[in-house]
Amino acid sequence: MHSTVFQIYVAIIMVAVFAGLFVWFRRSEAAGSAKRLTGMMSRFGLDPRIATQGDSITKTIMNAARWRCRKCPTEGHCERWLCGKVEGGNTFCPNAQTFSFLSAAGKKTG
């Protein structure tokens, strides 16, 4: 019986460690995604503050862009492109059209 209690404690500790590692991994992913999103916005001449300080339509657009960035299948290519290690355009970016639109809209109103 004493052995069963020990095994339960070990199982609880293992679940807690797994949950902690999972949360750490997700936060790390989100931080990397935010860094890439900000870098790409800067390349388009967009102020990253529009994501939180823009009008409600812009905030909605940026929420969708943030989601696409988090789900991006080309994050490694994006990081290399932002660092200048890959040449060419950024047609790989799922947010390229969105950022082009926001950049053009900002120049028309600015």
Per-residue model confidence (pLDDT) at position 1: 56
For residue 25, tell me if it sits in a domain: no
Q: Let me know: does 77 contact 86? Beta carbons within 8 Å.
A: yes
Average pLDDT in the 77-99 region?
Answer: 89
Per-residue model confidence (pLDDT) at position 94: 93
Per-residue model confidence (pLDDT) at position 59: 85
For residue 69, tell me if it sits in a domain: yes
Per-residue model confidence (pLDDT) at position 110: 47
> Domain limits at 73?
31-109
For residue 36, tell me if it sits in a domain: yes
For residue 73, tell me if it sits in a domain: yes
For residue 10, tell me if it sits in a domain: no
Per-residue model confidence (pLDDT) at position 97: 92
Per-residue model confidence (pLDDT) at position 28: 67
For residue 7, tell me if it sits in a domain: no
Per-residue model confidence (pLDDT) at position 68: 92
User: How far apart, in whole angstroms, are the C-alpha atoms of residue 67 and residue 95?
Assistant: 10
Per-residue model confidence (pLDDT) at position 30: 62
Say how many domains are in the chain.
Answer: 1
Per-residue model confidence (pLDDT) at position 109: 47
Residue 67, pLDDT > 60, answer yes
Q: Let me know: does 77 contact 40? Beta carbons within 8 Å.
A: no
77 or 30, greater pLDDT: 77
Average pLDDT in the 81-106 region?
Answer: 88
For the chain, the maximum distance between any two Cα atoms, rounded to a whole number of angstroms, is 75
Q: Where are the alpha helices (DSSP H) in 44-74?
A: 50-53, 56-70
User: How far apart, in whole angstroms, are the C-alpha atoms of residue 80 and residue 15?
Assistant: 36
For residue 8, tell me if it sits in a domain: no
For residue 14, tell me if it sits in a domain: no
